[in-house]
Structure 1
């Protein structure tokens, strides 16, 4: 195993060349006794190729619940008997949420909607929201509105959307076990539209949904092939009423190994702590992850689940002497 870490050090840290799929798989097999050394190496890679700054983002759900898709992890699907019900935010509420996000020091504010893809009503409301936010607060605006048409991607870019999130969720080989109402390939097509329209590509997924270690490594390689600007890494938080409600929580050591492996597969990518880290890792794990390859966080609550208080994450970054990424350096 020492030979593996020595090889990784030379390849990734010294040359900046991300791990191939078979190498990610080997890293995921490292024993717990090697975990600390792995995390130290992943942190060195992050510092070498990304720098010390941490990007902070807040998210808000413009349209919650009632989604027609059957993503098995998601309590917003209208196909499952989950307690989430459909609701909309108005533009003033969006602006207020953006202002509160900016107060934390965040540079990114992401508008999210639980839909297969945006209809004209949603596009109109997003346009109004973007204009109002830009008038009220200095913050980058990202969107996550499902699958796009070429016209919709062009319009979002024209409105000044800085980054678009559309997760592949899991490895291509495992995707049919997670979603039945659309394909992995359809998601990939939207991501190409995002890049074609010169918005930053934000694409990650959820680990701990029952995928094998082979598939977890496959997913890392597929993300690396996409070359996203940002990868949000979620850990399954099993939601009542969904098909994955009874999935066990991922072990914290497995989660940290995954963080490090994904950093080593994508040495220059923004790797963001997202949903589920509170349950899977807790406070100590959050600290270890930030010292093991993570260089971005979502602060506050998620779409239908509670997160860590924003102040707790900002204080943690201060304790670790990790500077917040400034707005002007993220434009």
Structure 2
């Protein structure tokens, strides 16, 4: 009678595969990590931190974001209060160029190396692209900072225009696993987002692509999402946690438990050992002050400082002081070029 094979512990396997060899976990392996009991969370976070330090180093990239065009979006992303289809309190508004430049200046003063211009649109029209071009030129005249954009889905011509403007990085989130996407958005497809990201990469801009955890997805779908991102190989992955917004279809969903959120952070680090993994929206309500520290010591190596698009963040000084306390140096601008 033959004995059953001994199953290798997932964290022991990850230590060899990811930490020693730099090979990200597969979808099924990520699922095993997400299913670990809470008693192993500290061990998991320590391993994710070791992976981050080994394959990314100790530097933390700091970014600020600003909304050039807020609200009035025609899409029905169920988490977003900027959709014009929902009865949410956000209303359409445009930011003028002087305000954009001032926001870039304040972002640079915080030590940030990246400033992202965001617009709530399906994709940019000529007016918006002209505003972005004018904003980028004005910022460049006064501020030494890398400029990123997040303007929705793009055509090839628009990708080429942004590349010619010198946009360093383009953000377009896949938001969730391919199998869960139709439960989150119905007015466009996951594939349309993927095609924009492919064109961005081919044009030579850095690809920033992440999503939101806690939108009703299963652990299996969360693991699928990590595998989707690993296939895309983005330069940066912003991890958001759902902050339920009044008036949206997801307004009544419960906030993700902190232990589940931290397991997800570590699991995504083990799936993406060399990627910039950024703390983004929802971390304050999901994790609180203690969770911010645990995340940065559990695989995170980038943060958005200040407020988000329609929700409040922690004061930038709190995050920057935390990095000093943890002896995590802020990545210098010349290291991002």
Residue 3 of structure 1, CA deviation: 2.0
Counterpart Cα distance in 2 of 1:304 and 1:277 = 14
Q: How many residues align?
A: 331
Q: C-alpha offsets along residues 173-218 of structure 1, whole Å, 9 cap, x if unaligned? A: 0000000000000000000010011000000000000000000000
Counterpart Cα distance in 1 of 2:94 and 2:13 = 51
After TM superposition, the structure 1 = structure 2 runs for residues 47-86 of structure 1, keeping only pairs within 5 Å, are 47-86=53-92
Tell me the secondary structure at the aligned position of residue 43 of structure 1.
Answer: helix
Residue 321 of structure 1, CA deviation: 0.4
Tell me the secondary structure at the aligned position of residue 281 of structure 1.
Answer: helix
Among 225, 229, 239, which residue is 2:231 paired with? Answer: 225
Q: C-alpha offsets along residues 206-240 of structure 1, whole Å, 9 cap, x if unaligned? A: 00000000000000000000000000000000000
**Unmatched runs of 5 consecutive residues or more in structure 1:** none
Give structure 1 regions of 4+ aligned residues with deviation exceeding 2 angstroms.
none
Tell me the secondary structure at the aligned position of residue 283 of structure 1.
Answer: helix
Counterpart Cα distance in 2 of 1:291 and 1:20 = 23
Q: C-alpha offsets along residues 148-172 of structure 1, whole Å, 9 cap, x if unaligned? A: 0101101101111000000000000
Name the residue aligned to 1:154: 160
Residue 2 of structure 1, CA deviation: 7.7
Name the residue aligned to 1:267: 273
Name the residue aligned to 2:94: 88
Name the residue aligned to 1:132: 138
Tell me the secondary structure at the aligned position of residue 319 of structure 2.
Answer: helix
Q: Aligned pair 1:305/2:274, yes or no? A: no
Q: Aligned pair 1:330/2:336, yes or no? A: yes
Counterpart Cα distance in 1 of 2:281 and 2:302 = 13
Counterpart Cα distance in 2 of 1:3 and 1:66 = 49
Q: C-alpha offsets along residues 52-81 of structure 1, whole Å, 9 cap, x if unaligned? A: 000000000000000000000000000000
Name the residue aligned to 2:248: 242
Q: C-alpha offsets along residues 91-127 of structure 1, whole Å, 9 cap, x if unaligned? A: 1110000000000000000000000000000000000
Q: Aligned pair 1:7/2:13, yes or no? A: yes
Q: Aligned pair 1:185/2:195, yes or no? A: no
Tell me the secondary structure at the aligned position of residue 291 of structure 2.
Answer: helix
Counterpart Cα distance in 2 of 1:87 and 1:160 = 26
Name the residue aligned to 2:4: none
Tell me the secondary structure at the aligned position of residue 9 of structure 2.
Answer: helix
Counterpart Cα distance in 2 of 1:313 and 1:280 = 16
Name the residue aligned to 1:116: 122
Name the residue aligned to 1:41: 47
Q: C-alpha offsets along residues 122-150 of structure 1, whole Å, 9 cap, x if unaligned? A: 00000000001011100000000000010
TM-score (norm 1): 0.99
Q: C-alpha offsets along residues 228-264 of structure 1, whole Å, 9 cap, x if unaligned? A: 0000000000000000000000000000000000000
Name the residue aligned to 1:295: 301
Name the residue aligned to 1:170: 176
**Unmatched runs of 5 consecutive residues or more in structure 2:** 1-6
Residue 4 of structure 1, CA deviation: 1.6
Among 87, 97, 103, which residue is 1:97 paired with? Answer: 103
Name the residue aligned to 2:212: 206
Q: Aligned pair 1:215/2:208, yes or no? A: no
Tell me the secondary structure at the aligned position of residue 232 of structure 1.
Answer: strand
Among 273, 287, 291, which residue is 1:285 paired with? Answer: 291
Name the residue aligned to 1:257: 263
